[in-house]
Amino acid sequence: MKYTIACIMVFLVAGGVSAQSKSEVALTAKINRIIRKMTLEEKIGMLHGNALFSSGGVPRLGIPELTCDDGPLGVREEIKRFDWASANWTTDSAMFLPNGSAIAATWNPVMANRYGVVIGEEANARKKMVMLAPAFNICRMPLCGRTYEYYSEDPYLNSQLAVQSVKGIQSQHVAACIKHFAANNQELNRDSVNTMVDERALREIYLPAFKAAVQQGNAYTVMSAYNKVNGYWCSENDFLLNKVLKKEWGFKGVVMSDWAGTHHTVAAANNGLDIEMGSSGPYDRWYFAQPLLAAVKAGQVSEKTIDDKVRRILWLMYHTSMSADHPKGSIATPEHAKAAYDIASESIVLLKNDNHLLPLKTSAIKRIAVIGDNAVRTFALGGYGAGVKAKYEVTALEGIKSRFGKTAGISFAQGYRANYLASKTDEQ
């Protein structure tokens, strides 16, 4: 009896793998045929940006550009192809979604998945094939500056949410780009700091959510972080990109740099980076453009390495822009607004309720004092790489007036004046 059960189990497992393998083998063969038709110059052209949010395709072979966009709070408003200025579209309003810390506060993977589905549907409506989200570095310190868009300080919670966010986005044939890999946990000098961390801490705290997003969520793209880890830039870190991500975790997709986060040609090419992205031209002079072509011709980077990068990009495209039955998408719909509302509602956490003060007896409220600069601010367009052009945004003061304006007197005092320093716009 035990022998019979064991045989059945082996048969079921083998059968499942076999069916999946046939599909993968067929796709690999198709991609290899395309690569054999490409010139070295065409291959190199796919490995670097050709505009602010796209990298090159091969029109001769029907390979489109790879288009991407921010970000963690919703699809960014359309900007000019070579300029951070607004493109002044009237059709690019998107849903302003709750941030990462709010999603974490729900403790609910279902909400993370709903967030991802909305992101994916809205990306399709805007023809963006890679969304630079979710972001889930560990919230190691409150001054990180990106903490609002990350999840939490807990590796397990981050992992569960990351997997579902990725699955939600990619259910719409849009790639999730998980970021920032890795140990990008402070804002001060984050584009130059050398993060010194032992391997145990790295594997127990900073990497679990990335591993889960790759192995359980099947994330299609990963963004390398700005910083160094143990002396090596993340965009050319052999341990992180080759040994752990691609070999140990079996990552099949594409590693792209953070914007202007590439520092060398040969080291980045040989140590795992696939696409170099950035903010300004001339694009043919980037590390992965003419310098990479020269490095291949000089024998410093093998064409086999280049082919692997192109193969990964094409694999990504066949799961997104070149996929069958690609969804059309939708944007800023009532259904999306309901998802945003539900996530925000679940994110509200009541820590204490002394003397049963809550819920408030609204009929007895006659006067309300609203104090603080944030009560009259909107936030959709703010933040590093996270701005969204919302159709409308209600401030806290407006919301309170709408609810209580006819039944209570409302007094507002600014209390302080916030001083928001200008930030660089080329950091994702």
For residue range 87-136, list pLDDT tens digits in order: 999 999 999 999 999 999 999 999 999 999 999 999 999 999 999 999 99
pLDDT of residue 197: 97
Segment 227-248 shows an average pLDDT of 98
**Would you call 326 exposed, middle or buried from its count of C-beta atoms within 10 A (0-12, 13-18, 19+)?**
middle
Tell me what the pLDDT averaged over the chain comes to. Answer: 92
For the cut 90, the answer to whether the pLDDT of residue 65 exceeds it is yes
- What is the per-residue burial (b if ≥16 Cβ within 10 Å, else e) of 183-212? bbbbbeebeebebeeeeeebeebbbbbbbb
Which one-letter amino acid corresponds to residue 234?
C
Q: Are 115 and 343 spatial neighbours (Cβ–Cβ below 8 Å)?
A: yes
With a pLDDT cut of 70, the percent of the chain lying above it is 92
Could you tell me the residue ranges of all domains in the chain? 38-318
Whole-number Å distance between alpha carbons of 92 and 75: 9
For the cut 80, the answer to whether the pLDDT of residue 4 exceeds it is no
For the cut 70, the answer to whether the pLDDT of residue 10 exceeds it is no
For the cut 80, the answer to whether the pLDDT of residue 184 exceeds it is yes
Pick from 85-99, 188-202, 321-335, 347-361: least confident: 347-361
pLDDT of residue 421: 67
Whole-number Å distance between alpha carbons of 193 and 187: 9
Q: Are 107 and 161 spatial neighbours (Cβ–Cβ below 8 Å)?
A: no
| Structure confidence at residue 389 as a pLDDT band (50, 70, 90) | very high
Please give the backbone phi and psi of residue 343, each rounded to the nearest 5 degrees, phi first. Answer: -65, -45
- The second-level CATH assignment, the architecture, of 38-318 is Alpha-Beta Barrel (3.20)
**Catalytic annotation present for 258:** yes
Choose, from 258, 307, 325, 342, the residue flagged as catalytic: 258
For the cut 90, the answer to whether the pLDDT of residue 383 exceeds it is no
pLDDT of residue 176: 98
Which one-letter amino acid corresponds to residue 352?
K
| Structure confidence at residue 141 as a pLDDT band (50, 70, 90) | confident
For the cut 50, the answer to whether the pLDDT of residue 3 exceeds it is no
Q: Are 178 and 167 spatial neighbours (Cβ–Cβ below 8 Å)?
A: no
**Would you call 36 exposed, middle or buried from its count of C-beta atoms within 10 A (0-12, 13-18, 19+)?**
exposed
Q: Which residues pair with 63 in a beta bridge?
A: 58
Among 402, 398, 405, smallest CA distance to 377 is for: 398
Beta-carbon contacts of residue 269 (< 8 Å; ≥ 6 apart): 288, 292, 295, 301, 305, 306, 309
pLDDT of residue 1: 43
With a pLDDT cut of 90, the percent of the chain lying above it is 79
pLDDT of residue 379: 87
Whole-number Å distance between alpha carbons of 424 and 428: 10
Segment 173-184 shows an average pLDDT of 97
Count of C-beta atoms within a 10 Å radius of residue 72: 28
**Distances, alpha carbon 302 to alpha carbons 54, 135, 214, 267, 297, in Å:** 25, 33, 27, 12, 9
For the cut 90, the answer to whether the pLDDT of residue 294 exceeds it is yes
pLDDT of residue 338: 98
Q: What angle do the packed helices 155-170 and 208-215 form, to 10 degrees?
A: 30
Of 17 and 380, which is predicted with more confidence?
A: 380
For the cut 80, the answer to whether the pLDDT of residue 423 exceeds it is no
- Dihedral of alpha carbons 27, 28, 33, 34, sign: positive
